Structure 1
Amino acid sequence: MRLPRVKPEHAPHRFGDGTIRLGGVLYGIASEITDDDGCAWAVLNLMDGTRSPAEIAETLHSAFSAVLTRAEAVEIVDTLIASGHVEEAAPGPCAELSPREKDRYSRSKDYFRWVDLHPRDSGWEPQVRLKQARVLVLGLGGTGSHAAWSLAASGVGRLHLVDPDVVELSNLNRQLLYTEADVGRSKADVALARLREVNSDIEITAASATVDGPADLTRLVRGFDVLALCADRPREPDGIQSWANAVCAKAGIPWVSGGYNGPLVSVGVFGPGGPCFACVRAGIPPRPGADYAWPGVTGATAGLSGQLVAYDVVSLVTGLATTPPGYFHGVTLLDPDGHVYARHPARPDCEICS
Structure 2
Amino acid sequence: MLLPRVKRMHEPFRLDDGTVRIGGEIYGLAGEIADPLGGAWAALTLMDGTRTPEQIAATVCGTVPGVSAAAAQELIGALIASGHVEDAAAGMPDELSERERERYGRGQAFFHFVDLTPRPHSWEAQVRLKRARVVVLGLGGTGSHAAWALAATGVGRIHCVDADVVETSNLNRQVLYDEGDVGRAKVDVAVARLRRVNSDIEVTGERRRVDGVAALRSLLDGCDVLALCADEPRGHGVGDGIRIWANRVCAGSGVPWVGGGYDGPLVTVGTFERGRGACYECLIDGETRRRGRDLPVDLGGPGVVAVSAGVSGLLVAHAVTSLITGVPRPASGSFVGINLIAPDHHVLVRHSPRPGCPVCGPGGIGS
Aligned to 1:245: 247
1:180 aligned residue? 179
Deviations, residues 15-72 of structure 1 (Å, cap 9, x unaligned):
11222222233312221112222111111111111111111111111123x5233222
Kindly, what percent of the aligned residue pairs are identical? Answer: 58
Output the CA distance in 2 between the equivalents of 1:321 and 1:126: 10
Is residue 2:317 matched to residue 1:314? no
Residue 108 of structure 1 aligns with which residue?
Answer: 107
SS of the residue 1:212 aligns to: coil
Cα shift readout 1:92-128 (whole Å, capped 9, x = no counterpart): 1311111111111111111111011122233111111
Distance 1:323 1:189, change over 3 A: closer
The runs of at least 4 consecutive aligned structure 1 residues that moved more than 6 Å come to none
Q: Which runs of 5+ in 2 are unaligned?
A: 363-367
- Which residue type is aligned with residue 282 of structure 1? D
Q: 2:283 aligns with which of 257, 280, 290?
A: 280
* Cα contact 1:92–1:121 (8 A) shared by 2: no
Match of 1:137, SS state, is strand
Classify 1:8/1:56 alpha carbon distance in 2 versus 1 (closer, same or farther; 3 Å). Answer: same
In 1, are the aligned partners of 2:323 and 2:329 still within 8 Å (CA)? no
Q: 2:265 aligns with which of 238, 263, 266?
A: 263
**Cα distance, 1:12 vs. partner?**
1.1
Q: Which residue of 2 aligns with 1:340?
A: 347
Gaps of 5+ in 1: none
- 2:318 aligned partner, one-letter code: Y
- How far off its partner does 1:288 sit? 2.2
Structure 1 residues 278-309: Cα deviation after superposition (integer angstroms, max 9, x where no partner): 11222223462566231100100000000010
| Alpha carbons 1:257, 1:267 under 8 Å: kept | yes
- CA RMSD after TM alignment: 1.4
State the match for 2:365 in structure 1: none
Is the CA contact 1:261–1:290 (under 8 Å) kept in the aligned structure 2? no
| Cα distance in 2 for residues equivalent to 1:321 and 1:12 | 21
Structure-2-length-normalised TM-score: 0.93
Alignment of 1:1-354 (within 5 A): 1-64=1-64, 66-235=65-234, 238-272=240-274, 273-284=276-287, 285-286=290-291, 288-289=295-296, 292-353=299-360, 354=362
Letter aligned with residue 318 of structure 1: T
- Do 1:257 and 1:268's aligned partners in 2 also have CA atoms closer than 8 Å? yes
TM-score, normalisation: structure 1: 0.96
Moved more, 14-23 or 175-184: 14-23
